[in-house]
Structure 1
Amino acid sequence: MQSVQLQILGMSCASCVARVEKALNKIDGVTASVNLATERAEVHAQQLDYLALQHAVQKAGFDLQVSEFDLKIMGMTCASCVARVEKALKKVDGVLQAQVNLATEQAHVQALAPTSRAQLLQAVQKAGFDVASDNIQLHISGMTCASCVARVEKALKKVDGVRQANVNLATEQATIETEHEVDTLKLIEQVKKAGFDASLIQDQPINQKQQQQQTLKRDLLLAIVLALPVFVLEMGGHLIPAFHHWVVTHIGQDNSWLLQWVLTSLILIFPGRGFYQKGLPALWRLHPDMNSLVAVGTLAAYSYSMVATFLPQLLPSGSQNVYFEAAAVITALILLGRYFEARAKGRTSLAIQHLLGLQPQTATIEQAGQGVEIPIQQVQVGMLLLVRPGQRIAADGQILEGQSFVDESMLSGEPMAVAKQSGDSVVAGSINQNGHLKVQVNAVGQHTVLAQIIHMVEQAQSTKLPIQALIDQVTMWFVPVVMGLSLLTFLGWWLFGPEPSLSFALVNAVAVLIIACPCAMGLATPTSIMVGTGRAAELGVLFRQGEALQLLQQAKVVAFDKTGTLTEGKPTLTDLQLIMPWDEAKLLSLVAAVERQSEHPIAQAIVDAADQRGLVPENATNFQALTGYGIQATVKGHLLHIGAERLMQQLNLDTQSVYERVQDWGNAAKTPIFVAIDGQLAAILAVADPIKPSSFAAVQALHQQGIQVAMITGDQQHTAQAIAKALQIDQVMAEVLPHGKVDAIQTLQQHYGRVAFVGDGINDAPALAQADIGIAVGTGTDIAIEAADVVLMSGNMQGVANAIALSHATLNNIRQNLFWAFAYNAALIPLAAGLMYPWFGILLSPMFAAAAMALSSVFVLSNALRLRRFKAQFEGAA
């Protein structure tokens, strides 16, 4: 019997407890009891299905507390490695989902609260891989002896998340290995408590990818230097008979083979040792990977050659040949392919590196009226930044003094600088162009917009597309199948092949092992996602989920919210018609008093109009938002209702007297606002929201792509139709209440298929979640952005068309990669097995097989990198 405690989110009463218990106990074999005070559910079952538990709780209207872990996996070389790591992680109790990406070497795990990072690390290590730790380097000053070192190490290890701390007295440096993200300020505080000073080292050591490239380069050069004489000695004799005679005469056949044995042994022991350290244990665990294929293939050629060299009497007459050159050259060629892969993988993450490079390393803060430069890690919320012309802004904040133009192209993709003045917000990484600014910091570190962008891009790059599921299923069985085919090839040639059959059997079996590398299959999708999402970020389009890349190019219709999306979202008051004998200024003052309590853009337009006329604001009490209808409040003893015509109808007020005026305003794309005072219709106001300059071009761009365009709005039918006519929108759904937007999306899905919805407000969040692809405008609310799959960092609507174009380009790139990877293996495995030999006399040398295998991965990576050259197809788009 298995037991688990689940943390339930959202329960507030006894009926909630009953609903959760009922939902859980409906699962076969599950017994559950729920405690409202601790918000925990005690669950018992013979076999726990965590996904089923989560679905049951969600169906009851609640959710489980879920932890997310990001692990850097070391040692993966192919798609079968990915499958093994995922399988190992999913076996850990409490894990709901595990996604592993070969290109980024990242694992993203979602698990229930009881699951710990240590359990995940153990599972990965048991599968034959390792998890890289995050390293932080500090400069320590004040140490004088070994006891100082011990005190600093002890202090650092007290910080939660620190796995290991090593302090060097000579270099005055501390290297801290962490299990998860650790606040560097906490580390520095601990060192100071121990009596020393510490600061973050700005010049970070070479990162792991660069180290990997350097190690591969060293091994590759050594392998080439050692393999070249082996290749010349053996193959030179086959290609040039005169050279063969020279070797036999001056060196001797036996000495030549001994020299080849020494050189090949050095290759396998040193540059090639990684294939055996990883491949053979994987083979013992019955989970062979690409390293296993190389290890078995090269060891077979090497062992056969050793027997031919030292014990030739054990082999049949005529089959005493050596294949040292095959083992040596195969190792060198595969190292060459992996070196190219490592370099290309480094280039796929250039977008992330570029974003990281936007963060300045130092900041100038105001202290006692003076500018003091400090490391960026020491900047804290509330500090005052002094930003000179040409400097990058170090943290998110609000301008207190000064005005300037700020280049925010890193955020929005828009080339034009934005005018900023006192009261405006600025973001870290943007460039102050021509004025001096004093900025109060309101977000630092991982809380800045730039850090969130980087996190979103990394998250999208580490997720999988639906198309990847099929590939995973195939590649999981690919290596074992290849080893089986290699064995069949060996037996077939040995039993039925021409003499020397044993030599033929060995050569062809090794060729099959080497040619069938599934690396290209494993890299086909993630590399394209990495480059595509990175390029999108540079254009101001953030894919929060990699899956959106595939779904977006399937969209048949794009539905837009109106206010703040197609329009500026900054409406202005254009008309005011009195119905009751009120003074216009007094009425506007009363209405503005109520509207000041609302965050709606139309409310702001009325408030701005009152401010411009110099009206003194009144105080409103008992304010209440009437969702979908309007607002109400009491001002100076008068009860005001302000909102759409349906609010007046709800109050049983007759609006026929103003019907024609309202219709005229609607035809002119003006929104009518009805005002009732003390239960009587008092006035109507007209507010116009200008259409964004980019909206018409965006609609036309979508039409060019063969996509239908719809508009869903809570605005009046007349106003909506006027906007739709001006923009040539195909379908209009007007007067839709917030909850009705979800129904509208569902209607479009039934008629068209996949629907993308573009919105920016809080009331758009449910529709963004319901749509197949939710696209939030980055200038909108946080809730809308969180609910979306794609974020446009600027308000330019042409970014929608560019996001769809990039989606098409990325999916086409993935299809090209997959075609190459699958077609390549399908075509060359039969050739390597020697099936062409009976008719055409063609055999594939293991060396050529290794070269072709390396070429396959390099082609896939190079093809993915072409996406970096993707251009915004529609001018002026983000």
Structure 2
Amino acid sequence: METHSKILSIPLEGIHSEHCALIVDDALDKTKGVLNHNVELNNHQAKIEVDTKQFNLKQLTENIRDLGYDVTTLKKTFPITGMTCASCAVSVESILSFEEGVVSAAVNYANATATVEYIPGIAKLENFKKAIQSIGYDIIIEESENQEDELTKHQEQQFSALKRKTIAAALFTFPVFVIGMFFMEMPYANWIMWAFSTPVVFWYGRSFFINAWKQTKHGKANMDTLVALSTGIAYLFSAFNTLFPEFWHSRGLHAHVYFEAATVVITFILLGKVLEERAKGNTASAIKKLIGLQPKTVTRITKDGQQEDIKISDVLIGDLLLAKPGEKIAVDGSVLSGTSFVDESMISGEPIPVAKNLNDKVFAGTLNQKGSFQYKAEKIGSDTLLSQIIQMVQNAQGSKAPVQKLVDKIAGIFVPIVIGISILALIVWIILGGDNGFTQGLLAMVTVLVIACPCALGLATPTAIMVGVGKGAEKGILIKDAESLELAKKIDTVIFDKTGTLTEGKPSVVATLWKEESHQLHSILLSMESKSEHPLAEAVTKHYSGMHPQKVTEFESITGFGVKAKIENQVYFAGNKRLLKEHNITTDAFFSEFIARQAELGHTLIYFADQQKTIAVIAIADKIKETSIEAIKQLQALDIEVIMLTGDNESTAAAVAKTVGVTEYKAGILPEDKLTYVKILQSEGKTVAMVGDGINDSAALAQADVSIAMGKGSDIAMDVAHMTIISSDLLKVPQAISLSKQTVKTIRQNLFWAFIYNLIGIPIAAGLLYPINGFLLNPMIAGAAMALSSVSVVSNSLWLKYRASKL
């Protein structure tokens, strides 16, 4: 038997002894397509001769990994351009999977990326490019610092070009449609329609023919194939009838033309592509903004005590760095000297900045506030917590979508069946049609392709999505892509972040108790807190902002305790319980019940006292949003499980959960814990929605089946999320789910209307009724039926506006 052999060098990991080599040799023996092999222990590789027709690199890799060893591979993500439907992604994935040296390939249509695992010594990126270009798409393998910007610019240019093409095609189509429908008897009608339809078919619609040809060369067919066939045959048939009408007149038939069918089809399909592109979200900006959290330069303290500005990439582990007021922390590390408050909301999601003292940990991307400190670099580059969050978001976004679009699945079956029926109709008519068999068969073939034209199919989903997204926007729900809107109806579990989602996200005074309440004492407390840098002091200052402050003669900020001030020769204190204990200040039983109650609710307490006794206790908390309780009730009424996840402490989390009516919650968790929790729920077969507002939620948002961000939250959360609630009103969450159900219902109805004419019309168009009653469907009637299906689809989508307004 003839073989197509080739020698490959497979790099191996974990091969440290002759015993290991023998085990791998055994695995190679069992791998199909491996003709000869030799494991080279010194070089840590296997030299194998393979039959390229039978050998499967993925299977070999799996066999070696099952033994506890590994093949050295590289896994990279590449942008893909030119994909227009989910079937395009399948074609690209298939082509990449069969490239030499590729272990696995996964193409994400929503993100327009391909994640490829390959062996660098065997696979060549240039071959990836050639293979993908051969089927009408492209892959960007060149790396540059501005790759994200260049890709975004390219996508914007492509979209602008598509819009211009659609508008121009519509302008040329309009006169063809009017003449074809109402003025067929006017002089030179056919010639005029021919002149206007030619640029539509061969210029504005040229991509359909080019892509269809490239697909055909690889034995594949997609929507482009059907569009090219139907419009191409209708155009050529009409051109023949315009040039040689006597061919039909001599046979007693009228020389009909169908230029309007060809032009209308192309224009409608182009419009469908524009609508779909508008619905797709661009997730590249989310990663760009996450990366932008890390400053480009940092101040390093040299061994002789001098300061120097260096690039982040030049920081080494152990370097002494300076965090100035208002600057972002450059890398992960520990405080060596100085104190400050750092906004760590991107990590914990909590709005209250954290005090940083000696040996406290700091994290890259967090924001230093008014103080200044020096810290030692401990984790740099990809090891920082921020880099890990970025990686988690990239992995979650790059994973394959949980569902494929229904229209593309149907189209994959519909296209070859329609082509087969049209050819079969022609053959049957030639065999059984007698003298006019070829003529009638050609008419039947054209009629089948015209009535089966996918313009209604192309509009079924985009029009419903356009209306659904539009109604969502009217109600303050921004929906990024069609898939999330379609999937939201299946949600059975909703995860809420606490801070900024269930709560307002801003600390404020929620309760006060004064032993000696007076306007003057309020003014004294305001005077002290207005001079404090502590973020909790801002809540007190805002609460008593209507008072006139007193003159402070002496002021001292005591880090970790509070503040001390002298006003009108009297010393006052404001801070935590430890501050009072430090100065032997008593708090009598008058405050006991209040303190216990506020502690139970998880509120933070500030004590205001003079040198002998406590004057007042102020409770500060992050207020629960007014709509949170009702929104959770509505979700639970829909039989949806509601869970709360927060980085806050157990007591605060328990208090908030109890107030809003959530029975299951997790406290004190980090961003990676939220991501893991979402994955666990998904592994149990649940459809998970994540609702959050902060950078710390971004990885979990990206992993969730449907992610919903608060409009008043971080830009990163909104970019990653599939939906954004502009007002941050949680009542919009159950509304979004209801809107999804109505939109999906409309899409299914649209698909019914798009196909019912085909299911009834195609057999009739092929001539099924001719032997019974002599009826043969006229292509003009087929064109009208096609148009009617489009009208039905658009009308039904517009009806969604009325139904959605009732939500």
Above 0.5 in TM-score?
Answer: yes
Residue in 1 that maps onto 2:48: 43
Within a 5 Å distance, the mapping from 1:657-806 to structure 2 comes to 773=683
1:258 to 181, 187, 191: 191
Residue in 2 that maps onto 1:648: none
Alpha-carbon distance, 1:207 to partner? 1.4
Give the whole-Å Cα distance in 1 for the aligned partners of 2:25 and 2:670.
37
**Do structure 1's residue 408 and structure 2's residue 331 form an aligned pair?**
no
Q: 1:308 to 1:441 in 2, by over 3 A?
A: farther
2:239 to 306, 319, 329: 306
1:425 to 362, 368, 378: 362
- The answer to whether the Cα contact below 8 Å between 2:348 and 2:671 also exists between their aligned partners in 1 is no
Within a 5 Å distance, the mapping from 1:182-331 to structure 2 comes to 182=144, 207-237=153-183, 247-248=186-187, 255-315=188-248, 316-331=251-266
Q: 1:228 to 1:522 in 2, by over 3 A?
A: closer
Within a 5 Å distance, the mapping from 1:26-105 to structure 2 comes to 26-27=30-31, 30=34, 31-46=36-51, 47-105=54-112
- The answer to whether the Cα contact below 8 Å between 1:93 and 1:115 also exists between their aligned partners in 2 is yes
**Do structure 1's residue 21 and structure 2's residue 25 form an aligned pair?**
yes
**Do structure 1's residue 829 and structure 2's residue 775 form an aligned pair?**
no
Q: What is the DSSP-based 3-state SS (H/G/I as helix, E as strand, rest coil) of the residue aligned with 1:73?
A: strand
Alpha-carbon distance, 1:280 to partner? 2.9
Alpha-carbon distance, 1:214 to partner? 0.8
Q: 1:180 to 1:709 in 2, by over 3 A?
A: same
Q: 1:853 to 1:450 in 2, by over 3 A?
A: farther
- The answer to whether the Cα contact below 8 Å between 1:35 and 1:41 also exists between their aligned partners in 2 is yes
Q: What is the DSSP-based 3-state SS (H/G/I as helix, E as strand, rest coil) of the residue aligned with 1:97?
A: strand
Extract unaligned runs of 5+ from structure 2: 470-476, 479-483, 496-622, 644-660, 714-729
- Report Cα offsets for 1:99-156 as digits up to 9, x if no partner: 2233333222223443232232222123x223243xxxxxxxxxxxxxxxxxxxxxxx
1:463 to 376, 382, 399: 399
Q: 1:303 corresponds to which letter in structure 2?
A: L
Give the whole-Å Cα distance in 2 for the aligned partners of 1:806 and 1:276.
43
Q: What is the DSSP-based 3-state SS (H/G/I as helix, E as strand, rest coil) of the residue aligned with 1:356?
A: helix
Q: What is the DSSP-based 3-state SS (H/G/I as helix, E as strand, rest coil) of the residue aligned with 2:9?
A: strand
Q: What is the DSSP-based 3-state SS (H/G/I as helix, E as strand, rest coil) of the residue aligned with 1:129?
A: coil
Give the whole-Å Cα distance in 1 for the aligned partners of 2:259 and 2:171.
15
Within a 5 Å distance, the mapping from 1:353-752 to structure 2 comes to 353-354=285-286, 356-357=288-289, 359=292, 366=299, 389=326, 393=328, 396-397=331-332, 403-404=340-341, 406=343, 408=345, 416-421=351-356, 423-428=360-365, 435=370, 453=389, 455-465=391-401, 467-468=403-404, 476-488=412-424, 505=444, 508-515=447-454
Extract unaligned runs of 5+ from structure 1: 134-178, 185-199, 239-243, 249-254, 531-537, 540-545, 559-692, 711-727, 732-755, 795-800, 868-878
Q: 1:845 to 1:426 in 2, by over 3 A?
A: farther
Alpha-carbon distance, 1:831 to partner? 4.3
1:119 to 98, 120, 127: 127
Alpha-carbon distance, 1:216 to partner? 0.9
Q: What is the DSSP-based 3-state SS (H/G/I as helix, E as strand, rest coil) of the residue aligned with 1:207?
A: helix
- The answer to whether the Cα contact below 8 Å between 2:294 and 2:328 also exists between their aligned partners in 1 is no
Q: What is the DSSP-based 3-state SS (H/G/I as helix, E as strand, rest coil) of the residue aligned with 1:213?
A: helix
- The answer to whether the Cα contact below 8 Å between 2:453 and 2:786 also exists between their aligned partners in 1 is yes
Q: What is the DSSP-based 3-state SS (H/G/I as helix, E as strand, rest coil) of the residue aligned with 1:99?
A: strand
Residue in 2 that maps onto 1:139: none
- Report Cα offsets for 1:400-432 as digits up to 9, x if no partner: 7563462735x6666x3433535442443x666
Within a 5 Å distance, the mapping from 1:158-197 to structure 2 comes to 179-182=141-144
- The answer to whether the Cα contact below 8 Å between 1:388 and 1:435 also exists between their aligned partners in 2 is yes
Q: 1:289 to 1:42 in 2, by over 3 A?
A: same
Give the whole-Å Cα distance in 2 for the aligned partners of 1:215 and 1:773.
42
Alpha-carbon distance, 1:361 to partner? 10
- The answer to whether the Cα contact below 8 Å between 2:754 and 2:789 also exists between their aligned partners in 1 is no
Give the whole-Å Cα distance in 1 for the aligned partners of 2:7 and 2:677.
38
**Do structure 1's residue 129 and structure 2's residue 136 form an aligned pair?**
yes
Alpha-carbon distance, 1:320 to partner? 1.0
Residue in 1 that maps onto 2:550: none
- Report Cα offsets for 1:751-810 as digits up to 9, x if no partner: xxxxx9x9979999999999973999x9xxx9xx99x9779999xxxxxx99x9999999
Q: 1:396 to 1:420 in 2, by over 3 A?
A: farther
- Report Cα offsets for 1:250-307 as digits up to 9, x if no partner: xxxxx23222211211222332222222223433543232222222211212111211
Q: What is the DSSP-based 3-state SS (H/G/I as helix, E as strand, rest coil) of the residue aligned with 2:175?
A: helix
- Report Cα offsets for 1:156-214 as digits up to 9, x if no partner: xxxxxxxxxxxxxxxxxxxxxxx243457xxxxxxxxxxxxxxx9x9879612211111
- Report Cα offsets for 1:613-635 as digits up to 9, x if no partner: xxxxxxxxxxxxxxxxxxxxxxx
Alpha-carbon distance, 1:16 to partner? 2.7
Q: 1:89 corresponds to which letter in structure 2?
A: L
- Report Cα offsets for 1:314-365 as digits up to 9, x if no partner: 23433212222222222222221111222222xx23x543553463798675
Q: 1:209 to 1:226 in 2, by over 3 A?
A: same
- The answer to whether the Cα contact below 8 Å between 1:79 and 1:523 also exists between their aligned partners in 2 is no
- Report Cα offsets for 1:581-613 as digits up to 9, x if no partner: xxxxxxxxxxxxxxxxxxxxxxxxxxxxxxxxx
- The answer to whether the Cα contact below 8 Å between 1:305 and 1:321 also exists between their aligned partners in 2 is yes
Residue in 2 that maps onto 1:4: 8
Q: 1:510 to 1:360 in 2, by over 3 A?
A: same
- The answer to whether the Cα contact below 8 Å between 2:295 and 2:330 also exists between their aligned partners in 1 is no
Give the whole-Å Cα distance in 2 for the aligned partners of 1:6 and 1:854.
59
Q: 2:14 corresponds to which letter in structure 1?
A: G
- The answer to whether the Cα contact below 8 Å between 2:86 and 2:405 also exists between their aligned partners in 1 is no
Give the whole-Å Cα distance in 2 for the aligned partners of 1:857 and 1:16.
65
Give the whole-Å Cα distance in 2 for the aligned partners of 1:759 and 1:223.
55
Give the whole-Å Cα distance in 2 for the aligned partners of 1:116 and 1:703.
53
Q: 2:11 corresponds to which letter in structure 1?
A: Q
Q: 1:403 to 1:332 in 2, by over 3 A?
A: same
Give the whole-Å Cα distance in 2 for the aligned partners of 1:371 and 1:846.
77
Give the whole-Å Cα distance in 1 for the aligned partners of 2:795 and 2:13.
48
Q: 1:14 to 1:503 in 2, by over 3 A?
A: closer
Q: 2:225 corresponds to which letter in structure 1?
A: S
TM-score, length basis structure 1:
0.53
More off after superposition, 112-121 vs 203-212: 203-212
TM-score, length basis structure 2:
0.56
- Report Cα offsets for 1:559-590 as digits up to 9, x if no partner: xxxxxxxxxxxxxxxxxxxxxxxxxxxxxxxx
The sequence identity of aligned pairs, in percent, is: 23
- The answer to whether the Cα contact below 8 Å between 1:32 and 1:44 also exists between their aligned partners in 2 is yes
Q: 1:322 to 1:55 in 2, by over 3 A?
A: same
Give the whole-Å Cα distance in 2 for the aligned partners of 1:312 and 1:232.
22
Residue in 2 that maps onto 1:251: none
Residue in 2 that maps onto 1:736: none
Q: What is the DSSP-based 3-state SS (H/G/I as helix, E as strand, rest coil) of the residue aligned with 1:6?
A: strand
- Report Cα offsets for 1:528-584 as digits up to 9, x if no partner: xx9xxxxxxx99xxxxxx9xx99x97899x9xxxxxxxxxxxxxxxxxxxxxxxxxx
Give the whole-Å Cα distance in 2 for the aligned partners of 1:319 and 1:89.
51
Q: 1:471 to 1:406 in 2, by over 3 A?
A: same
Residue in 2 that maps onto 1:173: none
